[in-house]
């Protein structure tokens, strides 16, 4: 039985996700930007929470946790590296850890860069990876704590997952990301058509998250350091991939 994934808009532009296995009745929550919409999503479906999987320590990913746990006393997982600045964890994970959620294998991947100790949860049977502020739809998180090298390494790991993986990222930043992406890769036909779809989706308040890894590989400039067109545009034909990534990240910061 495949799991069901529910995307929950929170705050002004955050997403939390539920992973639900109907057979066992177990439900996991990924990140807790605020309690109210999450409690409502659970109540609407008659689900109770079994686990919470935290990606990183920023307030917009954890601040609703205490209130959610009051109603749903679930087991909390997070990064061991982050444990000192996260709410109390029941289980602290390291890169490469695997655990079972209701018969489904979950793989923990360190994707440091945005923060040190940011982790992703990859659920192969669900074809889903919960990336929060690492790989995002047409973007990636800002480098608050890590270096460009670290983020590039993290994105390169994610890029190797199966292309049909759903990228469940933590924010609705896609429209702004598309505007920027078009300055880096203006002649990419897939990016041009995706940008139009994004404008249409946002005009009707439809989430653009999750996206697919295949689509990100084809259109997300932060994954496309090897593209000859992008290299030519940046005048960096001979540069290592990581330098191309760093240049794109720096331009986005100033955009
Ligand atoms: Zn963050
Ligand atoms: Fe965030």
**pLDDT tens, position by position, 19-32:** 999 999 999 999 99
Tell me the average pLDDT across 173-195: 98
Q: Ligand 1 centroid vs 57 CA: distance in angstroms?
A: 7
- The answer to whether residue 253 is catalytic is no
**CB 122, CB 161: distance < 8 Å:** yes
Question: Exactly one of 60, 82, 97, 185 is catalytic; which is it?
Answer: 60
Q: Ligand 1 centroid vs 1 CA: distance in angstroms?
A: 32
Question: What is the token pair recorded at 77?
Answer: 């997982």
- The answer to whether residue 133 is catalytic is yes
Q: Ligand 2 centroid vs 118 CA: distance in angstroms?
A: 11
pLDDT of residue 193 exceeding 90, the answer is yes
- With bands split at pLDDT 50, 70 and 90, how would you rate the model's confidence at 2? confident
Angstrom distance (rounded) from CA 215 to CA 218: 5
Question: Exactly one of 56, 72, 93, 104 is catalytic; which is it?
Answer: 56
Q: Which residues lie near ion ligand 1 (Cβ < 5 Å)? A: 58, 133
Question: Exactly one of 57, 58, 72, 118 is catalytic; which is it?
Answer: 58
SS3 category, 107: strand
Question: Exactly one of 20, 93, 114, 118 is catalytic; which is it?
Answer: 114
Question: Exactly one of 20, 61, 104, 118 is catalytic; which is it?
Answer: 61
Q: Ligand 2 centroid vs 188 CA: distance in angstroms?
A: 28
Whether a cis peptide bond, with omega within 30° of 0, leads into 210 is yes
Question: What is the token pair recorded at 124?
Answer: 């192969």
pLDDT of residue 123 exceeding 90, the answer is yes
Tokens 């590296």 locate to: 81
What are the start-end ranges of the E strands in the chain? 4-10, 14-21, 26-30, 51-53, 75-79, 91-93, 98-101, 104-110, 119-123, 128-132, 135-136, 139-140, 166-169, 211-212
pLDDT value for 243: 98
Tell me the average pLDDT across 161-172: 98
- The answer to whether residue 58 is catalytic is yes
Q: Ligand 1 centroid vs 49 CA: distance in angstroms?
A: 23
Smallest-distance ligand from the CA of 31: 2
Q: Ligand 1 centroid vs 51 CA: distance in angstroms?
A: 21
Q: In terms of Cα–Cα distance, which of 225, 253, 210 is closest to 155?
A: 225
Q: Ligand 2 centroid vs 41 CA: distance in angstroms?
A: 20
Instruction: State if pTM tops 0.85.
Output: yes
- The answer to whether residue 20 is catalytic is no
**Residue 152, C-beta contacts closer than 8 angstroms, at least 6 positions apart:** 113, 225, 241, 242, 245, 246
Tell me the average pLDDT across 19-47: 98
Tokens 């759903």 locate to: 166
**pLDDT tens, position by position, 56-97:** 999 999 999 999 999 999 999 999 999 999 999 999 999 999
- With bands split at pLDDT 50, 70 and 90, how would you rate the model's confidence at 1? confident
- The answer to whether residue 61 is catalytic is yes
Average pLDDT value for the chain: 98
Q: Ligand 2 centroid vs 32 CA: distance in angstroms?
A: 10
Angstrom distance (rounded) from CA 213 to CA 21: 23
pLDDT value for 149: 98
Strand partners, 122: 107, 129
């Amino acid at each position: 039985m495949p799991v069901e994934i529910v995307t929950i808009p929170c705050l002004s532009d955050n997403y939390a996700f539920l992973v639900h296995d109907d057979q066992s009745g177990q439900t996991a929550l990924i990140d807790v930007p605020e309690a109210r919409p999450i409690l409502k999503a659970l109540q609407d479906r008659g689900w109770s929470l079994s686990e919470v999987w935290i990606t990183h320590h920023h307030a917009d990913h954890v601040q609703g946790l205490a209130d959610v746990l009051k109603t749903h006393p679930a087991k909390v997982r997070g990064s061991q590296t982050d444990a000192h600045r996260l709410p109390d964890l029941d289980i602290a994970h390291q890169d490469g850890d695997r655990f079972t959620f209701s018969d489904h294998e979950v793989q923990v991947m360190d994707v440091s860069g945005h923060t040190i100790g940011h982790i992703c949860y990859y659920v192969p049977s669900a074809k889903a990876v919960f990336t929060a502020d690492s790989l995002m739809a047409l973007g990636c998180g800002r480098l608050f704590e890590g270096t460009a090298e670290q983020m590039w390494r993290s994105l390169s790991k994610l890029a190797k997952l199966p292309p049909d993986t759903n990228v469940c990222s933590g924010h609705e930043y896609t429209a702004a990301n598309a505007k920027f992406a078009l300055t880096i890769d203006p002649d990419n036909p897939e990016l041009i058509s995706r940008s139009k779809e994004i404008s249409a989706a946002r005009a009707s308040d439809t989430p653009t998250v999750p996206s697919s890894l295949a689509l990100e590989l084809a259109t997300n400039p932060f994954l496309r350091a090897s593209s000859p067109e992008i290299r030519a545009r940046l005048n960096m034909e001979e540069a290592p991939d990581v330098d191309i990534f760093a240049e794109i990240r720096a331009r986005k910061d100033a955009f």
